[in-house]
Amino acid sequence: MVADIIPLIAGVLVFLSSLISLEVGISVAIVELLLGVIAGNYFGFQPEPWMTYLAGFGGVVLTFLAGAEIDLPLMRSKLKQSLLIGGASFLFPFVGTFAYTYWILSWPLNAALIAGIALSTTSLAVVYSVLVETGLTNTPLGKLIMASTFVTDMCTALALSILFLTPNEFTVPFVIVSVLVVWIGAQFSKLLFNDRIYKNKVVEPEIKYLFLLLLVLIFFASLGNSQAVLPAFALGLFMSPYFSESTETKVVRNRLRTVAYALITPFFFIVGGLNVSLPLVIGAAGLFLALLVIKQATKFAGVYFLARKYLPKREMYVTLLMSTGLTFGTIASLYGYQGGYIDKTQFSVIVAVVIASAVIPTLIAQKWFRPMHDEDVIDYDRSRYRR
């Protein structure tokens, strides 16, 4: 019997990703994607079926966590600004990328839609980490950026779910089950989280309960010829108040994040990287540059002038952060590739653009447009009173 070396190599990649991320100071998701690209292109490492399934589950967990991070009171307090900035941040790149790939490049309709969705995203993970690093999370600027990012993510989840819904006899049961799961999560999770018998136990019943809800969504989504992105996002969104109302529930969220980032979500990004072909990206360098320019230009067109109205003197910083993409862009790309909507060249180029958009705008924003905290608060207040 020959020992399977694939799990060992995968474990090495996951561990190295965390070390490199801490040493270099960039998102671990970017490192996992890049190491996956290197392992697949230079060492012939290919994912096994268990890795592919775990990657799919990781994408759903990431979507749930994105919804759980949303601060609903924050969104309500900045509803108009966040809807306008976040909506434009999604719409302009989606339309621009779709128009270019569909009418100029003559891509099939579904391939152009996948490209539009993948390149319209804003990375919640990148934006959040940058705001924490710069101490802007509790400033008016940081709060508005976060609220706008939430809106963009919701638009992405909606677009991916609605545009690629192919109904069958199980679609209606899937919708009903999704509503029930979201309702159960929103109404009854508090009983489990606060029960003295179950909370803070080493067997982690809360984490297993959340995983069970997500697995139910995945199962019925598969039956309904759909995917679990939107209901998972909705589940996280409606459970988000629980995760911020007390110390105990915050601990549950942090433990879920730890479990997910330690084992589950790394395989989502590594498997995504393994499917990227560097020779295909190099051979399609013109397409890569064109899509990167279109993403950045359309993000600028959609966000800059609104940011200039609501956050004067911070418009470039806001625009650059809203131009980042990572998690949802990878989710959409991998969904399109595994579903046969895009080929390997298209997938490789789109993921390469997603990675570039996570790194380049962030570095520019932090080096040349990083705001001062006190000035940020003063400028926001003055602009609000002028309106």
Residues 6+ apart with CB under 8 A from 333: 114, 118, 272, 342, 347, 350, 351, 354
How far is residue 58's CA from residue 232's CA, in Å, rounded to a whole number?
12
Its domain, for residue 42, covers 6-386
Residues 6+ apart with CB under 8 A from 334: 55, 59, 268, 271, 272, 275, 347
Residue 120 sits in a domain whose CATH number is 1.20.1530.20
Q: Could you tell me which residue, 111 or 80, shows the higher pLDDT? A: 111
**What is the per-residue pLDDT across 290-346, written as a single tens digit (0 to 9) for each?**
999 999 999 999 999 999 988 888 899 999 999 998 888 988 998 899 889 999 999
pLDDT band at 187 (very low <50, low <70, confident <90, very high): confident
Q: At what angle do helices 49-68 and 265-274 cross, to 10 degrees?
A: 120
Q: Is residue 1 part of a domain?
A: no
Q: Is residue 234 part of a domain?
A: yes
Alpha carbon separation from 358 to 30, 100, 353 (Å, rounded): 8, 21, 9
pLDDT band at 123 (very low <50, low <70, confident <90, very high): confident
pLDDT value of position 384? 40
Domain count, the chain: 1
Alpha carbon separation from 373 to 66, 131, 135, 138, 378 (Å, rounded): 26, 11, 8, 10, 9
Q: Is residue 174 part of a domain?
A: yes
Q: Is residue 214 part of a domain?
A: yes
Report the range of poorest mean pLDDT among 40-44, 261-265, 336-340. 261-265
pLDDT band at 202 (very low <50, low <70, confident <90, very high): low
pTM for this model (two decimals): 0.83
The CA R_g of the chain, rounded to the nearest whole Å, is 20
Q: Is residue 175 part of a domain?
A: yes
